[in-house]
Amino acid sequence: MDLQQLMEHQLFDNGTVPRSMISPLEADNGFTNEPPSFQLPDLDLDFNINELSGPAPAKACWSGLVGSGSHKKLDHNAYERDRRMQLNQLYSTLRSLIPNADHTKKLSIPTTVCQVLDYIPKLQKQVEDLEKRKQELTRAKCRERLQCLKESTCRIVSATPLDGNEIMVQVSLLSNMAASLPPSKCINIFENEGLHLISSSTFSTLEVNRTFYSFHFQV
C-alpha cells in the first residue's frame, strides 16, 4: 500500500475529512466534515394511530356495559320504590275501613291484617242480619198490601140520583172495619168533592157482619 492509499484509508476510517483537504469551492457549497443530516419526509400517521388505538372500542364497549347495568339498577330501584308506595297507600286505605280503630296512630302491617281478618266475619254477620231484616220488611209490606186489597173489596159504595139536584150515597163495609172508616170521615170526603149533606143514617147487622152508611147529599 503506498502513502496515498494509506491516507485515504485513514480518512474514510475516521469518517471525517480534514478541513485542509476541503477546497474553497466545497466550503462555499456548505461541505463540512460533519456527517450529513437527513430529513424524513412527512408521513401520514392516521393509519398507525388507528392501529395503535385498536383496543379503544373494547374499552368503550365495556364502559357501555357498565353504564347499562347502572341504568337497569336505577330503574329497578325506582320500580321498587313505586311499588312500596302503592302498597303503603293500599294498607292506609284498609286501615281507614276498620271501625273502632285509632286512625291517629299508624298500625303496623301485621296488626292491620289481623284486625281486618277479625272484622270480616263480623261484617258478614251484619250483612246476613240486614238481609233477614229486609226480607221481614218485605213480607210485612206484602201483608199490608193484601190487607188493603181485602179492605177495598170489602167496601161497597153506591150512588143513586134523586129528584132535582139531590143524590143518595150508600156505603157497605165489614163491621170490624167501621172503626177505621167512621161516618164522619166519609162525610168529609164527600163534602170535599162539593156535596152538601142533608141527612145521614147508620145501621149494622150481625148476621152478615156488615155496617151500612146512608148519606143524603145535595149537589
pLDDT, tens digit (0-9, with 9 covering 90-100), for 59-118: 555 555 556 677 788 888 889 999 989 988 888 888 888 887 666 677 788 888 888 888
Instruction: Quote the distance between the C-alpha of residue 61 and its chain's center.
Output: 42
Residues 6+ apart with CB under 8 A from 115: 98, 101, 107
Full domain range(s) for residue 190: 155-218
Q: Which of 23, 42, 41, 44 is nearest to 32 (CA)?
A: 23
Q: Based on the fold, state whether residues 81 and 141 are members of the same structural domain.
A: yes
Where is 120: in which H helix or E strand? Answer: helix 109-154
Same structural domain, 181 and 194: yes
pLDDT band at 197 (very low <50, low <70, confident <90, very high): very high
- Which cell goes with 147? 190487607
Range in 104-108, 128-132, 156-160, 208-212 the model is least confident about:
104-108
Q: How many domains does the chain have?
A: 2
What pTM value is reported for the model? 0.34
Write the CATH number for 97. 4.10.280
Of 114, 130, 154, the residue at which a domain comes to its end is 154
Whether 145 and 99 share a structural domain = yes
Strand order in the sheet with 156-161: 156-161, 166-174, 210-218, 196-205
**192 and 148 assigned to the same domain:** no
Q: What pLDDT does residue 198 have?
A: 92
Q: Are residues 165 and 202 in the same domain?
A: yes
Identify whether 70 is part of a domain.
no
Q: What is the pLDDT of residue 133?
A: 92
Question: Smallest Cα–Cα separation from 97: which of 120, 69, 74?
Answer: 120
User: Sorting pLDDT into bands at 50, 70 and 90, what band is 150?
Assistant: low
Same domain, yes or no, for 164 and 179?
yes
